[in-house]
Amino acid sequence: MVMRNGLKAVAILVGIMALYGLLASSSTLWDRDEPRFARATMEMVESGNYLYPTFNGQLRPDKPILIYWAMSVFVRILGSRELAFRLPSIVGTAISCYITYLMARRLSCAETGLWAMAILATSLMAIVEGTAATADGLLLACMMGAMWQFMKVFPGRMGIGHAVALGLALGLAMLAKGPVGLLPVLIILSVVYLVEKGQLRLTNRLWPVVFATAIAICIFIAWALPANVATGGLFAKAGLGHHVMGRSLRPLEGHGGRWLVYLPYYIPVALVFLFPWTIHLPGAISAFIGRRIADRRICMILLAWIGVVFVIMTIVATKLPHYVLFAWPALAMVLARVITLAKAGRLTQQDLRWLRVGVLLYAPLATGAALGLGSLGWVLGIPKWPGVVAAAILALTAIAAISFQFKGRICHGSYVLLGGSVLLLLAISVLVMPAIEKVKISLPLAKAILGHVGADTPIATFGYAEPSLNFYLGKRMEHLVSAEQVLEWVHRPGRGILVVSDPQQKVLQDQDGLAGMKVIAQVNGYNFSKGKRVTVWALAKDSIDG
C-alpha cells in the first residue's frame, strides 16, 4: 500500500509538471515582472556576469541571484523560449506539492497527502505563481525543503545532518528572495513555543535551528558581500534598503494603502486564491476548531504555520496576494484532511453544515470566473468561442460540485472539482491563451522592428515602455518621458527607431516632431498591464529600411 501511494504521488507530480508546462508554453511573457526577470537572465548569460543581475543595462536589485541562476540553466538547455524562464517555478511548485504530500502523510495518512498535493496544485494561487517567470515558485520549494527537515524529526531532536540540510534550504531561500527566506525559522520557533506550552528556551531542540540559521546567513553573505562590493554598495542600499525595509514600512508601487484599511487584505485573498477549494474552507475551520483535523500537536504546527505567514504579511505595509503563498501547503493539508474525514464519516453535523455554507463563498467566485472567461471575446476583441467553452466547463463543474456539497457527498464533489480544474486548465492552455496572444503587442512589434534594424541601431520608446518589448527585442532601449526628450532624440544624428503609442504620437505630430520619420510597424492590441486597448507605432529616422 505504501508503495502504491508513493507511485500515485509520483504520477501526480509528473501530471503537475506536464499540465503546468503546457500552460506555461501557451503564452508569451506577461508584463511586467516576467520579462524583467527573463531579460535580466539573458543579459547575465550574454555578458557572463553571474554575480549580480541587470535589466536594460542597469542594476536590478529587486531580488537576489538564485532565480537568475536557475533560469540561466534552462536557457542554456532550451534557448530563450518562454518555457525556459518559467521552468524554475514549475519545478519548484511541483517539488513543493510533493513535499506537501510527504508532510501530510507523516501528520495524517497517505490519502490525505495525495489530496493535499492535488489541492495545492489546482489552487488558483499555485497555478498563477507556479507557471510564472518569477521567483516565488522557486522560493516556495526552498522554504518547503526547510520545513520538511524540521517536520521529519519533530517532536524529537534534530541531528547535525538535519540541521545542515535545514541551513542549506534556508540559505537557498534567502538567495531566492532575501530575508523573507527565513520565515520557516519563525514558524519553527512558534511551533516549539506552542507545543511546549509557552516555553521557548535554547534547549537541544532549538540549538540546531540556531546553527541552521547561521549557515543560511553565511550562504547568503557569501554571495551578497561580493555582489555589493562589485556594485559599489548599491545592491545593499537598493535591495535591502528599498525592496526589503521600504516594502515593510510603506506601500510601494501602489500595492497597499492605509494600514488599518488594508488590515483584512489577506482574508479575501485566501477566499479567491484558494479557489476552487474555497468551498471546503468553512467546514475545515469548523473541524480544525473542534480538533477533529488532528491531535493537539499537529493542530499547533498547522496553526503556527498559517498564522505566522498571515500575521507577518499583514504587518508588512506593501501587500500583494502572492506574499502569503507559503501558507498554501498548510491550508491544503487542512482541506485535504476534511475530505478524508468526510469519506470516513468522522465529521460532525456541525462540520457538514459549515461545508454547505462554503457554497456561499464558492458560488459567487465560480460565477464571476465563468462570466469573466465567457466575456473575454467581447472585452478583448478575440474569437469568442474559446472563452465560452472554458466558461461552460467551469459552470458545469460548479453546478455538480455544489450539488454534491449540499448532499453531503464531499469526496464525490472533490473529485468533480479536481477533474473540472484539470479540464479547465487544458481548455485555457489550448484554446484561451492562443486566442489572447492575437491581441498582445510586444512580440509582433519586436519582430517588425528587428527586420529593420542593425545590431547597433538605437531604439527609444515614448508611451510604450513595457519590459516585454525590451525582452523580445533583445536590446537596450532608451525610455523617453516627455515630448521635449523625444524632440531632442529625433534630432540626434544617425539612425534610430522610436516606439510610440497612439496618444503620444498625436502630441508629437502637433509639434511637428515626427517630420521625416517613416512608419515601419503599427500594432493594435491590448496592453494588459494598463488594462486598455492601444495602438503602438514604430517609426524610423534617417530611412532605416535595410
Report the number of distinct structural domains present in the chain. 3
Determine the pLDDT at residue 6: 86
Buried-exposed string 365-390: b where 16+ CB fall within 10 A, e elsewhere = bbeebbeebbebbeebebeeebbbbb
- Angle, CA of 517, 520 and 523, to the nearest 5°: 120
The answer on 432 and 353 residing in a single domain is yes
Would you say residue 139 lies in a domain? yes
Determine the pLDDT at residue 1: 62
The cell numbers describing 88, all together, are 524554475
Domain with 291 in it = 2-343
- The domain boundary, picked from 343, 366, 386, lies at 343
Write out pLDDT tens, residues 57-68: 999 988 899 999
Determine contact, residues 35/29, Cβ cutoff 8 Å.
Answer: yes
The answer on 152 and 124 residing in a single domain is yes
Pick from 462, 459, 437: which is nearest to 446 by CA? 459
* 468 vs 197: CA distance, rounded Å: 52
Determine the pLDDT at residue 237: 81
The answer on 475 and 384 residing in a single domain is no
Determine the pLDDT at residue 23: 98
- The domain boundary, picked from 391, 413, 437, lies at 437
pLDDT lower than 70: segments of the chain: 1-3, 196-204, 240-261, 505-515, 543-546
* 236 vs 71: CA distance, rounded Å: 23
Would you say residue 546 lies in a domain? no
The answer on 389 and 448 residing in a single domain is no
Would you say residue 195 lies in a domain? yes
Type of residue at 96: S
The answer on 185 and 111 residing in a single domain is yes
Buried-exposed string 416-448: b where 16+ CB fall within 10 A, e elsewhere = bbbebbbebbebbbebbbebbeebbbbbbbbee
The cell numbers describing 472, all together, are 523580445
The answer on 402 and 506 residing in a single domain is no
All residues at 6 or more sequence positions from 272 whose CB lies less than 8 Å from its CB, including other chains: 124, 278, 321, 365
- The domain boundary, picked from 343, 373, 390, lies at 343
Q: Please, is 496 exposed, middle or buried when counting C-beta atoms within 10 Å of its C-beta (0-12, 13-18, 19+)?
A: buried
- Angle, CA of 271, 277 and 280, to the nearest 5°: 90
The answer on 174 and 225 residing in a single domain is yes
Residues 146, 321, 242, 62, CA torsion sign: positive
Determine the pLDDT at residue 373: 98
The answer on 357 and 324 residing in a single domain is no
Determine the pLDDT at residue 296: 84
